[in-house]
């Protein structure tokens, strides 16, 4: 068993950004990476200054190498299975992945950056085009679909809002609710006024070839020509590994199960912090998650300094 100052759960941009800043603050840091990134289907990412167009997987690899270059930091491939109280700190157990050994570590503090599990609508062949012709992040990928005939696919109540945002990149937008009442009559009328069609039929197929998406086929047999699109997934906060901790402490979450924190990533459990997609409002650009994690490091360092001052004052008084 190894004792660390901070264990970071999650090896994405948030976790690695935090680890880099923590180790540079002379803290011993372990990153536990389950190697299950939400964006695994994405070939290139955009909007990350100096890294526009880089593969998300390459970005993670570069981040791991930078963190691993420090003697007091380690990045291990392991899926965290439990986080429990251990005295004033925490005990973290994890199952090794990619041939790595299982882990059993302790830490004074834990930073949760494990992200979200993503589920796409039940649309045939959607996975075949996801990450190439169809994306989930308008800010990241909208520019590359500029001016194209686009589909907006989803089953959630915010679908009309996504359609309005999509018009920033294309005037030719069709909304597909896949047979659900995701768009209200009022929203339908508003969208129709700007030329956006809303289709309520179920999607039976996404058509295309090696060059990409060519159309969306409906249960009526109609194929609506589209060369790209944006899909609205649903996301789940997979935090079962904190169950042992919540048995003895009240961990505050929002209505979506995301961890509530203050401005510096402090959760309702002392010593437990969170950053990235696992905190409201949920999915973020890579650069936003990395930046937020750097802010959380400031909160961790403030807490360490406060504890040091209180200990010094107590020693002086005794």
Q: Read off the pLDDT of residues 115-157 as tens digits, 9 standing for 90 and up.
A: 999 999 999 999 999 999 999 999 999 999 999 999 999 999 9
Structure tokens at 55: 């593969």
Query: Of 232, 252, 279, which residue sits at a domain end?
Result: 232
Percent of the chain surpassing pLDDT 70? 98
Q: Is the pLDDT of residue 1 over 70?
A: no
- pLDDT for position 47: 87
Residues 206, 255 within the same domain: no
- pLDDT for position 40: 67
- pLDDT for position 60: 93
Residues 220, 134 within the same domain: yes
Residues 161, 296 within the same domain: no
Report which of 105, 24, 109, 18 is spatially closest to residue 69, judged by C-alpha positions.
24
* Alpha helices (runs of H) in the chain, residue ranges in sequence order: 13-23, 56-68, 126-129, 138-141, 159-166, 185-192, 243-246, 286-317
Q: Is the pTM of this model over 0.95?
A: no
Residues 257, 274 within the same domain: yes
Residues 209, 61 within the same domain: no
Q: Read off the pLDDT of residues 198-227 as tens digits, 9 standing for 90 and up.
A: 999 999 999 999 999 999 999 999 999 999
Query: Of 200, 232, 264, which residue sits at a domain end?
Result: 232
The total number of structural domains that make up the chain: 2
| Burial class, 34, CB count within 10 angstroms (exposed 0-12 / middle 13-18 / buried 19+) | buried
97 pLDDT band (50/70/90 cuts)?
A: very high
Q: Read off the pLDDT of residues 2-48 as tens digits, 9 standing for 90 and up.
A: 799 999 999 999 999 999 999 999 999 999 999 887 766 678 888 88
- pLDDT for position 316: 81
- pLDDT for position 82: 97
Residues 126, 82 within the same domain: no
Task: Please provide the average confidence, as pLDDT, over all residues in the chain.
Answer: 95
45-59, 98-112, 252-266, range with the lowest pLDDT: 45-59
Query: Of 232, 259, 290, which residue sits at a domain end?
Result: 232
Q: Which domain holds residue 28?
A: 4-118+235-317
150-164, 167-181, 211-225, 304-318, range with the lowest pLDDT: 304-318
Residues 132, 174 within the same domain: yes
Residues 141, 45 within the same domain: no
- pLDDT for position 129: 96
Q: What are the distances in angstroms from CA 190 to CA 49, 175, 196, 313?
A: 36, 13, 9, 64
CATH number, residue 158: 3.50.50.60
Enclosing H/E stretch for 234: strand 234-236
User: Can you tell me the distance from the alpha carbon of 42 to that of 64, in angstroms, rounded to the nearest whole number?
Assistant: 19
Report which of 120, 192, 202 is spatially closest to residue 156, judged by C-alpha positions.
120
Residue 182 near residue 159, CB atoms below 8 Å: yes
Cis amide prior to 299 (ω within 30 degrees)? no
Q: What are the distances in angstroms from CA 197 to CA 64, 152, 192?
A: 45, 10, 6
Q: Read off the pLDDT of residues 47-90 as tens digits, 9 standing for 90 and up.
A: 888 889 899 899 999 999 999 999 999 999 999 999 999 999 99
- pLDDT for position 241: 96
Structure tokens at 316: 């002086």
User: Can you tell me the distance from the alpha carbon of 205 to that of 143, in angstroms, rounded to the nearest whole number?
Assistant: 26
Chain CA centroid to CA 42, Å = 13
Average pLDDT, stretch 238-256?
Answer: 89
Question: Facing residues of 253 across strands?
Answer: 259
Tell me the three state secondary structure of residue 9: strand
User: Can you tell me the distance from the alpha carbon of 263 to that of 295, in angstroms, rounded to the nearest whole number?
Assistant: 8
User: Can you tell me the distance from the alpha carbon of 82 to that of 244, in angstroms, rounded to the nearest whole number?
Assistant: 7
- pLDDT for position 312: 85
Q: Is the pLDDT of residue 247 over 80?
A: no
């Amino acid at each position: 068993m190894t004792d660390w100052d901070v264990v970071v759960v999650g090896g994405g941009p948030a976790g690695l950004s935090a680890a880099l800043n923590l180790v540079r603050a002379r803290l011993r840091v372990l990153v536990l990476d389950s190697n299950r990134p939400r964006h695994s289907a994405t070939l290139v990412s955009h909007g990350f200054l100096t890294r526009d167009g880089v593969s998300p997987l390459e970005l993670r690899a570069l981040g791991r190498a930078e963190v691993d270059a420090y003697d007091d930091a380690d990045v291990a491939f392991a899926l965290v299975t439990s986080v429990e109280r251990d005295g004033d700190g925490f005990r973290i157990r994890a199952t090794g992945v990619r041939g790595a050994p299982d882990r059993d570590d302790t830490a004074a503090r834990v930073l949760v950056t494990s992200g979200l599990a993503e589920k796409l609508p039940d649309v045939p062949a959607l996975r075949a085009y996801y990450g190439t012709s169809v994306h989930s992040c308008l800010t990241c990928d909208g520019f590359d679909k500029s001016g194209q005939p686009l589909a907006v696919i989803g089953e959630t109540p915010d679908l009309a809002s996504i359609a309005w945002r999509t018009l920033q990149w294309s005037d030719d937008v069709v909304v597909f609710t896949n047979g659900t009442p995701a768009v209200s009559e009022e929203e339908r009328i508003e969208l129709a006024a700007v030329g956006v069609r809303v289709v309520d039929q179920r999607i039976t197929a996404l058509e295309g070839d090696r060059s990409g998406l060519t159309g969306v086929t409906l249960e009526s047999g109609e194929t609506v020509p589209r060369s790209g699109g944006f899909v609205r997934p649903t996301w789940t906060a997979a935090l079962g590994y904190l169950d042992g901790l919540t048995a003895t402490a009240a961990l505050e979450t929002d209505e979506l199960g995301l961890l509530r924190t203050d401005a510096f990533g402090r959760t309702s459990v002392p010593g437990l912090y969170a950053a990235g997609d696992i905190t409201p409002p949920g999915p973020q650009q890579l650069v936003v998650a990395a930046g937020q994690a750097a802010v959380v490091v400031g909160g961790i360092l403030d807490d360490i300094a406060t504890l040091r001052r209180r200990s010094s004052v107590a020693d002086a008084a005794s």
